[in-house]
Structure 1
Amino acid sequence: MEKPDSATVALEMAIVRSVANMERGNSPTALAQEFRAYFKRLGAEISEEKSPKGIEDDLHKIIGVCDACFKEANENEIESVLNGIVSMLVLIPVERAENLILAFCEKLTKASSYKLGMVALRVGWLMFQSLDDHSSMRYHVYYHVVQVARQVDQVHAVFKDVDQLRQQFAACPPSNEQMQKLLRLLHDVLAAKVMVELLGTYTSENASQAREDAQRCIMAALEDPTTFLLDPLLALKPVRFLEGELIHDLLSVFVSEKLPAYLDFYKNHKEYVHSLGLNHEQNMKKMRLLTFMQLAEGNSEMSFETVQQELQLREDEVEDFIIDVLKTKLVRARMDQVARKVYVSSTMHRTFGRAQWQQLRDLLLSWRNNLQGTQDAMKNVAMRIELMTQQ
């Protein structure tokens, strides 16, 4: 990220001053203009002139482009800007701000990395806490907050148990349909983790009794779009009890095989895959990402042609796919569109067995030896300095 120029710094400082003015009760008009100028500076399609229709139209335009700040490297700046938008939203009567609040929450769910997701989570929680307890919008904001929390694996920070959840909405309870939707989301988020914990309680003696639980756990992990490291499931005793069955074979494909292996499995067992309730297109998407991770383990440099062939993509799909991979943070790489290559700096391993432990051991030993060499060199330097001082 390039160092911000003086104009950008001036805009940031102006926003900070305007937020401070807002906190003292001054008009939000000045902040709206600063936001317009700030997002214009980031390349967003927005004019710097305030809207003649008033602050609500200003907010509509600002929220429409507010995710442009996600491109910035300074997370404190991003959080300050988004919190400034919250401070403007809460000044508008809720009945007139509903669509604006929903649009803003949708933007928060677009945070594409862990750090940005944590920023979005804090801002969303601030939005939730800023609303009156009797506001029906608290439910909608909370639902989006849970979605953001899911992306950064922080659901425990916003959800403790159902009793606390109901108490949280005691002043304005959601409808049955809304509560069902929220509980369904929470179940989808927590089910896989809870199921893994459940399976871990079984022993070799009673593992056969966990057959249905093991199948549900595998299915939940496979259909979860945010779960990519599936190797630990194979070590669970109830899952090992399923060896030789199709569900275990399918899990093994996702654990260590490449895309062609999945396609062969699907070709031979199409009806079985659909009977599990799994979506073939989603399976393909996950298997392509897992295959890319495996390729990245042994290749620090890959051509677009290799990616296209290995992942069975069209030529015009390669760049978008690589961008999607980088967003997951499972692989750290740089894409060179001119050279049509991907340069991999690191990747998360799909499996972590004896070979990976050996690799980690060798890395730590090398690190220790390098530290020892540095320490010895520093001692020699210190001795030379001492001798020169004595002379």
Structure 2
Amino acid sequence: MASTSVQPQLVFVDGTFNELAQEMADYVRIGDEVKPLIEKDQQDEILKKIIVASSALNQVPEKEFTAAYNLLVYLVMQSKNADKMLPRVCDNLLKPITSSPQNGPALALGALTNIFNMIKPDNEIRFHIFSAIVRFVKQYSMFDNLKKHLRTLDSWVEQWDIDEEEQRKLYEEIAEVASDAGDEHTSYDFIVKAINTFEKDEVSSEDAQRLALRALKSALLSPTHYDFSDLMSLPAVQALADSHAVYFELLEIFAEKDLEDYNDFNEEHDDFIEKEHLNADLLHRKIRLLTFASLAASQPSREIPYKLITKALQIPDNEIELWAIDVIRAGLVEGKLSQREQVFLVHRTVYRVFGEKQWRELGDRVDGWRRTIAAVAAALRKEQANAEAARKREMEELERKLTGAGFEDGGNRRGGDRRRGGGDRDRSDRPPPNPRGDDED
């Protein structure tokens, strides 16, 4: 199948409509019947005859199959009533290809895909062809061939501009095919898509409640589905509180309550799980994992003592490690066990429901972080002030020492000058020597 960004593929043929129609009629052995209609240029009547006889194409040799169907589709596309004729061609392709039992399904799917790609993306006929492909894939268990194109389906649906009922029917068919193929995740996603097609005044209708209950059961019985907030937000699911009160009560437990509430439910509604053919072991394991997640999210210290785990999960001490591994594998909690401290250290956890209580808990935690950060900042400021004061004292001490050393050296230099100056003055005061060298009387 082509994506929305790819232009439809074209079949290249040579000849007029009447020439090609006669060729096709001869190929399916109704040439004599069609010839008078061709002479009268009755295009739609010609096509009706050929389409009725086209089931014979399922018996042609394998090497001719694709070309024959491409020519047939090309002829049908020339009619203004192609939207009424193509579904009949698709119906033929849903029947066995007797000429190639082994490769027949792949050939037929290829022909259906070619038909889909030959139609303009915004043509509503594409919707009917795609529905035929979904039915074919279901019939021959070829879901993998369809799944890779489902990511483009939303844009196709928007282009086709089909109504809510047609969308709902298509989504439900895809959910069925995915479920048959064992892909419960995709099946659940398309059930939810189908539920979302109901208007507000339709959410309590029989169809809406049927799909809502189906989605609820699918979510409960999925071994990997732990987030029920998406279901709880759907009006059609909320309406189950009136139409299927016990189921809705069970959903509420898995959405936001714990093992103790689940046990109370089983006591109050004896044998409900068994009577509804729900998997008791799976549900019991899932509610324990969810209880572990809630326990992790509710601990401000991010440490869960072993005794709280054993009490909440109702397990012996020697099973704590196994459940810790399981809850981490489920992606509900990240953390590790501390055997020395006998606690589970929570690194990260998910909230099963985020309401007023969770906002308060988050607010308290943020306040705690704010106080911690403020205390750390105050301690840093104090240490910074102490370091600055110590540095200042060191500088003052160094300056004092340098100043003291400078005064002492200066005094010594001045004293020496005075001594040298005094000696000069002594020599100048002495009488001049006697030139004759005689002693005075």
TM-score w.r.t. length of structure 2? 0.41
Structure number with larger C-alpha Rg: 2
